[in-house]
């Protein structure tokens, strides 16, 4: 069923748009399955970003003229470098290729997951994975050629994509059950 | 005045036509449609993150400038030579690297000074220095000028003091500053450049 948000046609030769469309739809399906976003990491990034911009504004708009505000400038520059390094660290090591982090659906259901996806530039294979939060080893992965999800004129085959995602989700939840049994 | 206006108008018309051509070609209309689709698909949190990313780019540039100010000690660490008064040492459009410290100012040094009430600093060479117990009097002159700078100084001012000097020249890069001069003479170019750059940053979701 075509939704109002998915574009009828996209340019299938633009890897960025293809990945965006698939990622956005993947997240949409998960949200429909009652998964809520875990905003902790995103909040950390937003707060660090706002702090950095605040430091820059502070260093620029503080009323003291130049030679006298040197200590303030040194403080701002050094703190900005530290915050930038922290943001870089988060982007490289904590975020990796995640597109969505979820909370557990119910307090005891323990199905919080890290959703990641990769698509090489001009590549054909789209790899999506659902990994158990924190335990990256327990994950379900699916690599599919993007030609399966897009018609040659650029129309997005939502139903095919949805079927694959739902099957992957079932596998992931099945993983959880087997863990509980052990 | 008449030469100035004939110089600016053709540039303004040229900018207008090139920008409208740029926006009416179908490729750009497609990109705009694609961009609005991609933004519609973004969750509000992601849009906030994009805005913050834009702010971070601006902040990084600002911070690099501030750190240069701290390292060199000068409030304007990089300046562009605007006039030909220092030829053949510096030509109009050269980029100048400045530094500042409390050391003695000597005759022959190239200094950049800002007079009270004037926004644009001037880069000239020190001609005379008179050191007193707690202050110094400086007289400057441009290499390519016939007379010293007393005519340039404010009414009743005969000497420069240390607080007028915002930096001394350490090194230079020829021609690189021409971009700034062109953008200052033709502000439409500056606004167009900023607009296009801002557009690229916001459009690119990555």
Q: For residue range A110-152, what is the model confidence (pLDDT) as tens digits?
A: 778 888 888 888 888 888 888 887 665 678 888 888 888 888 8
What is the secondary structure of A20-34 as a DSSP string? HHHHHHHHHHHHHTT
The pLDDT score that the predictor gives to residue B181 is 86
Query: How far apart are the C-alpha atoms of B77 and B65, rounded to whole Å?
Result: 8
pLDDT of the residue at A158: 86
pLDDT in tens, B78-118: 889 988 898 899 998 899 999 998 889 999 999 999 998 88
According to the model, what pLDDT value does residue B27 have? Answer: 56
CA A37, CA A104: separation in Å to the nearest integer? Answer: 9
Q: Please answer yes or no on whether B67 and A77 come within 8 Å at the CB atom.
A: yes
A contacts of B38 (beta carbons < 8 Å): 17, 20
Question: Do residues B186 and B13 touch, judged by C-beta distance below 8 A?
Answer: no
Average pLDDT over residues B160-187: 88
* Residue pairs between chains A and B whose CB atoms are closer than 8 Å: 73
Q: Tokens for B40?
A: 């519609």
The answer to whether B172 and B96 have CB atoms below 8 angstroms apart is yes
Tell me which residues of chain B, numbers 14 to 33, contact chain A at a CB-CB cutoff of 8 Å.
30
Structure-token pair, residue A35: 């998964």
* Whether the predicted pLDDT of A181 surpasses 50: no
The residue with greater pLDDT, A180 or B35, is: B35
For residue B137, what is the enclosing H or E element? strand B136-141
A9 pLDDT exceeds 90?
no
Q: For chain A, where are the E strands, in sequence order?
A: 98-101, 113-119, 125-132, 135-145
- Say if B36 is an interface residue toward chain A (CB within 8 Å): no
pLDDT at B174 over 60: yes
Distance, C-alpha B175 to centroid of its chain:
14
Please count the CA atoms within 13 angstroms of the CA of A122 that sit on its side-chain side.
0
State the distance between the two ends of chain A, measured CA to CA, in whole angstroms: 40
- Distance, CA of B122 to CA of B124 (rounded, Å): 6
Which residues pair with residue A98 across a beta bridge? A116
Q: Look at residue B7 and tell me whether its pLDDT is greater than 80.
A: no
- Residues of chain B above pLDDT 90, percent: 31
Strand partners, A113: A132
Measured CA to CA in angstroms, residue A170 lies from A97, A115, A118, A165, B93 at distances of: 22, 14, 21, 9, 66
List, for residues A78-109, the tens digit of each pLDDT value: 999 999 999 999 988 887 888 888 888 777 77
Element (H, E) at A44: helix A40-61
- The count of other CB atoms within 10 Å of the CB of residue B17 is 10
Burial of B74 (0-12, 13-18, 19+ CB in 10 A): buried
Give B50-77 pLDDT, tens digit per residue.
Answer: 889 888 988 999 999 999 999 998 888 8
By Cβ distance, the residue of B37, B59, B70 closest to A52 is: B59
Are B37 and A11 inside 8 Å of each other by CB? no
Amino acid A120: pLDDT: 87
Q: Could you report the per-residue pLDDT of A46-85, keeping only the tens digit for each?
A: 999 999 999 999 998 988 888 888 899 999 999 999 999 9
| Residue A69, phi then psi, degrees to nearest 5 | -95, 25
The stretch B117-129 carries a mean pLDDT of: 91
Q: Where on the phi/psi map is residue A24: left (φ > 0), alpha (ψ -120 to 50), or beta?
A: alpha
CA distance A145 to A124: 5
Q: Is A83 in CB contact (< 8 Å) with chain B?
A: no
Q: Is the per-residue pLDDT at B183 higher than 90?
A: no
The alpha helices in chain B, defined as continuous H runs, are 2-24, 26-41, 44-72, 178-185, 187-203
In chain A, residues 84-113 whose CB comes closer than 8 Å to chain B:
84, 87
Q: What is the pLDDT of residue B20?
A: 60
The fraction of chain A above a pLDDT of 90, given in percent, is 18
The region of weakest confidence among A29-38, B37-46, B105-114, B115-124 is B37-46
Angle between helices B187-203 and B44-72 (to 10 degrees): 130
**Residue A114 pLDDT:** 85
Element housing A81 (H / E): helix A70-89
pLDDT at A7 over 70: no
- pTM for the structure as a whole: 0.75
Pairing of β A113-119 and β A98-101:
antiparallel
């Amino acid at each position: 069923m075509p939704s109002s948000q998915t574009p009828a046609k996209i340019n299938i030769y633009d890897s960025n748009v293809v990945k965006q469309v698939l990622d956005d739809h993947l997240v949409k399906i998960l949200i429909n399955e009652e998964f809520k976003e875990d905003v902790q990491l995103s909040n950390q990034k937003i707060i660090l970003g706002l702090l950095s911009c605040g430091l820059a504004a502070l260093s620029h708009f503080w009323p003291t003229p130049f030679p006298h505000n040197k200590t303030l400038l040194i403080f701002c520059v050094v703190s900005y470098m530290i915050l930038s390094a922290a943001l870089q660290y988060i982007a490289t090591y904590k975020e990796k290729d995640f597109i969505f982090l979820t909370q557990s659906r119910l307090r005891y259901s323990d199905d919080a997951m890290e959703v990641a996806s990769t698509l090489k530039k001009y590549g054909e294979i789209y790899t999506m994975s659902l990994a158990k939060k924190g335990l990256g080893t327990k994950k379900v992965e699916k690599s599919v050629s993007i030609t399966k999800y897009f018609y040659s004129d650029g129309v997005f085959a939502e139903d095919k994509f949805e079927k694959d995602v739902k099957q992957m989700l079932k596998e992931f939840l099945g993983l959880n059950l087997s863990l509980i049994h052990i | 005045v008449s030469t100035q206006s004939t110089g600016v108008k053709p540039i303004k018309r040229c900018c207008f036509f090139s920008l409208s051509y740029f926006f009416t070609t179908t490729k750009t209309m497609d990109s705009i449609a694609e961009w609005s689709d991609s933004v519609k698909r973004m969750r509000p949190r992601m849009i906030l993150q994009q805005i913050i990313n834009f702010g971070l780019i601006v902040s990084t540039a600002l911070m690099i400038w501030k750190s240069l100010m701290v390292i060199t000690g000068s409030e304007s660490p990089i300046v562009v030579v605007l006039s030909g008064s220092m030829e053949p040492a510096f030509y109009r459009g050269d980029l100048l690297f400045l530094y500042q410290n409390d050391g003695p100012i000597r005759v022959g040094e190239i200094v950049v000074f800002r007079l009270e009430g004037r926004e644009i600093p001037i880069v000239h060479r020190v001609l005379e220095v008179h050191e007193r117990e707690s202050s110094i009097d400086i007289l400057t002159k441009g290499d390519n000028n016939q007379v010293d700078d007393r005519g340039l100084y404010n009414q009743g001012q005969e000497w420069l003091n240390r607080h007028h000097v915002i930096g001394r020249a350490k090194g230079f890069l020829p021609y690189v500053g021409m971009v700034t001069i062109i953008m200052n003479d033709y502000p439409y170019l500056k606004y167009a450049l900023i607009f296009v750059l801002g557009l690229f940053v916001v459009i690119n979701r990555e």
